[in-house]
Structure 1
């Protein structure tokens, strides 16, 4: 900046000196000073504008890099050539990005390994839980059926003695049978084997998502925009998050349609679920509702994040991002080998 200001001053003085020689005898002294001042301002303004544009381009470049990093693109690097006084800042930015990228890759790898270890360790516990649910299913439904049987057995006698009482018992029977049916469906859903077993995430969603939407009177649309094969850990966590999100749509949203999109960028897998339900205000939702903490926990195990955006009357949007450096890392390892 000092050199630029010095250059603009030298140029202004040169114009003053050489211009004064040619026009000094033809104009008055006051007019000459006005001309000199105008030339000085024009030259200084031109140099200032040029300098400002130069520095603004570098500031814009840094801003773009920070914005990309904030959106999870830790692979971006800024060019250091011609950066001049910005070279140190750009170099530190690139070093920070490299460190963050390596850290995210490490979190991704260790997270996937942890998820798979937990899946293996929990398999026996899952089998025990299914047995417990089966016992609960038998006890609960058995009691409901017994109560229905006892009430139904008393109906013929009640119809003869007290018609109004019989109608009341009939209403109770309808209510109890409806409750038993709901309990049965809930237990069956819990006892059903995980839909992802033996399938890829896309294959599981192609089967599970339309069935789930049909059972709950939802118009579901699934968009798959991922070309590369996902790791088993990512597919496992995404499927659980999608199940949690869809359960929230059914329980809370009162929606008619649900759009599920799974897409990829260069270094991220992005899942979004948009419904057209009632929506909500964040300050009116109890802490832990809508399963956001559970979804964030699942996403954070792989170095990702989850968020929910909603507005009363405008539906709800769930967005989950997971880093995706595994495929690139595998290619690099193959090249080194």
Structure 2
């Protein structure tokens, strides 16, 4: 606390020192200038003392205030870095500054927060993987159900189509008037089978990350998805290290949701996906050139920000959506990195 208190006295002390210096210079002038000169130029001497007070004092005060401002700027910059998620930021101690105690408290706070977020991220990753295992079991059960449905619907339809088609050759010779009816039945059954097959396929969710890295999955998935939805896509992935399975899983889900939002809401024809390792953060950014929307408007919720934000927060990160009407939309996800 003594050092903190010293900071508020720094500027007044420098001002006082400036005043003392001015008076000292005036006194020296009074002592060493000839008496005759002082008697003749007394107004000039007084003016010189006043100018000295006006110039020397503020100059020293400004110089002192610059030091205080420099200390405040260090703290402000460190706080801004912490707000952005760079919790590894530390302020070096000067050893003789009035702000050292504050810097020390900030460093301890950042270290404590970093440790807690590491723990939360670890728990989040474990939860994601447990959820993924649970989902995998659910997928296996769903596949069994789909197999039963295929057997009970499409498989039987195909068998009926095969039997009807097999009878056509005999009908052409024996009862040609029945051929048209059978063909119409074949068309109806094939359409029904096709509709049932599409319904079953729509229920399947392909595991795009299975056996692949996130980079590899995006290289394969992103251009196909853009092509299928009439988008010109640009993919830029720059990752220095392999991410954990939990982070890759969550980021891929976020990307799928964000891209689905572009197709459903943006009316865009161009989209850019950036995934970069920023050293202290993993940054995912998706930009489209669509119609955009007013910040805070109803369409903001349509972009599924809450879901993406929740997924990012599970890993200690954050999500934001920036948009302007007619200027497109940007989805940005930031996930902090920690040294192992």
Global fold match (TM > 0.5): yes
Q: TM-score, normalised by structure 1?
A: 0.79
2:33 to 17, 22, 30: 22
Using the TM superposition, give the Cα deviation of residue 138 of structure 1 relative to its aligned residue in structure 2, in angstroms: 9.3
CA distance in 2, matches of 1:48, 1:12: 13
Matched, 1:35 2:48: yes
**Which stretch has the larger CA shift, 183-192 or 22-31?**
183-192
Matched, 1:62 2:72: no
**Which stretch has the larger CA shift, 212-221 or 3-12?**
3-12
Shift in CA distance, 287/219, structure 1 to aligned 2, threshold 3 Å: closer
Number of residue-to-residue matches in the alignment: 292
Using the TM superposition, give the Cα deviation of residue 32 of structure 1 relative to its aligned residue in structure 2, in angstroms: 1.6
Which structure 2 residues correspond to residues 84-95 of structure 1 after superposition, within 5 A? 84-95=97-108
CA distance in 1, matches of 2:151, 2:65: 78
1:224 to 215, 232, 237: 237
Matched, 1:5 2:21: no
1:281 to 276, 286, 294: 294
1:44 to 57, 65, 70: 57
SS in 1 for 2:227: helix
Using the TM superposition, give the Cα deviation of residue 313 of structure 1 relative to its aligned residue in structure 2, in angstroms: 0.3
Per-residue CA deviations over 1:68-94 (Å, capped at 9, x if unaligned) read 111111001101114521111111111
CA distance in 1, matches of 2:41, 2:115: 71
Matched, 1:99 2:88: no
Name structure 1 gaps, 5 residues minimum: 143-176, 330-337
CA distance in 1, matches of 2:64, 2:290: 53
Shift in CA distance, 104/279, structure 1 to aligned 2, threshold 3 Å: same
SS in 2 for 1:282: coil
Shift in CA distance, 231/216, structure 1 to aligned 2, threshold 3 Å: same
Using the TM superposition, give the Cα deviation of residue 311 of structure 1 relative to its aligned residue in structure 2, in angstroms: 1.0
Query: Corresponding residue for 1:236?
Result: 249
Per-residue CA deviations over 1:142-175 (Å, capped at 9, x if unaligned) read 9xxxxxxxxxxxxxxxxxxxxxxxxxxxxxxxxx
Shift in CA distance, 76/210, structure 1 to aligned 2, threshold 3 Å: same
CA distance in 2, matches of 1:41, 1:267: 49
8 A contact 2:85–2:317 mirrored in 1: no
CA distance in 2, matches of 1:316, 1:287: 10
8 A contact 2:18–2:57 mirrored in 1: yes
Per-residue CA deviations over 1:176-227 (Å, capped at 9, x if unaligned) read x8xx87x966753541421110100000000000000000110000001111
8 A contact 1:280–1:311 mirrored in 2: yes
CA distance in 1, matches of 2:244, 2:206: 21
Shift in CA distance, 80/23, structure 1 to aligned 2, threshold 3 Å: farther
Query: Corresponding residue for 2:124?
Result: 111
Shift in CA distance, 229/24, structure 1 to aligned 2, threshold 3 Å: farther
SS in 2 for 1:63: helix
Query: Corresponding residue for 1:145?
Result: none
CA distance in 2, matches of 1:23, 1:131: 112
**RMSD over aligned Cα, in angstroms?**
2.7
Larger radius of gyration: 2
Matched, 1:53 2:66: yes
